Amino acid sequence: MTVHVLGWVLNELSLNRKVVLATVLNTSGSVPGKTGARLAMSSESKVWTGTVGGAGLEHRVLQHCRRLLSERNQPFAEVLTYGLNKGAKGYEVTPLDSLCGGRVSIAVEVMMPMPHVHIMGGGHCGEALANTLHDLGWAYSVHDTREAFVSIEKYPHAVERSCASVSDLMDAESAASLARFSDVVLLGHDWAEDQERLLGLLHRLNVPDVCLDGTSAPRIGVIGSRSKWQAFEKECLQQGLPQELLNQVICPIGLNIGAQSPEEIAVAVAAQIMALHKDVNPDDPTWRQS
């Protein structure tokens, strides 16, 4: 059961889904689940696998997992102790309406997926960014319409490599499938290709209540000048895309650190993704103390 649950957790995380893992730490007396029993729940429709013993205990743990998935957007851990009778007493013991009479402590952990960045444009900046992402232990995929720029030699650690046309690439995607990426970064060598990519992405993500937050839908970043973005924005509006959605796109992508070389640009882009992933404001002088 442990192997199954942990394998399921890793798969859900690889799909950019938040997971809560509950593990029975220790027990005393009569309890439905033994030490080491595990249950995991995913943010994907709140599905779960495994068990901590069933009955009222499991019902209460599942309720708590749902609440954490709704409220927590950062890693979090706690230990809960339940007394399996309604008269249970003691420090931080939650009584349950049960006749078992035992006591059980359960570790509950919110696990956040690491970023999975889709690099659209496999040139010098894309290659430098891929190296930086790999050093951070993050996943990346790469697309370029030129086969030589998505080779295994250039991108040995890519989860996905694609040299399809932009239209063929987008035909295979939907809002649901794009959610496997935390970020999509447009680094193309041709502004027309980047514009086509942006339009394809936004048309698919133009669904009710979408938020380009890196969880329900990927954040989108575009390399380039303000004038380039104004041209892209004009074309998107002419195609009927809402301003509210366009306002969520980051352009130019990357923190303003004076980056010029591909390697410096990679640092700036990765740093901005990290700040967004960790929900910190690099412009706030107090965040380092929090």
pLDDT in the model for residue 271: 96
pLDDT tens digits for 171-185? Answer: 999 999 999 999 999
Same domain, yes or no, for 261 and 136? Answer: yes
Handedness of CA 235, 239, 242, 248 (dihedral sign): negative
Same domain, yes or no, for 238 and 104? Answer: no
Task: Write out the two tokens for 211.
Answer: 């938020």
pLDDT tens digits for 120-137? Answer: 999 999 999 999 999 999
pLDDT in the model for residue 88: 45
pLDDT in the model for residue 191: 93
pLDDT tens digits for 190-234? Answer: 999 999 999 999 999 999 888 999 988 999 999 988 899 999 999
Measured CA distances, 38 to 42, 48, 92 (Å): 14, 11, 21
Query: Lowest-pLDDT range, 64-78, 99-113, 201-215?
Result: 99-113
Same domain, yes or no, for 243 and 130? Answer: yes
- Which of 111, 145, 161 is at the close of a domain? 111
Same domain, yes or no, for 126 and 269? Answer: yes
Measured CA distances, 230 to 20, 183, 246 (Å): 41, 21, 11
- Number of folded domains in the chain? 2
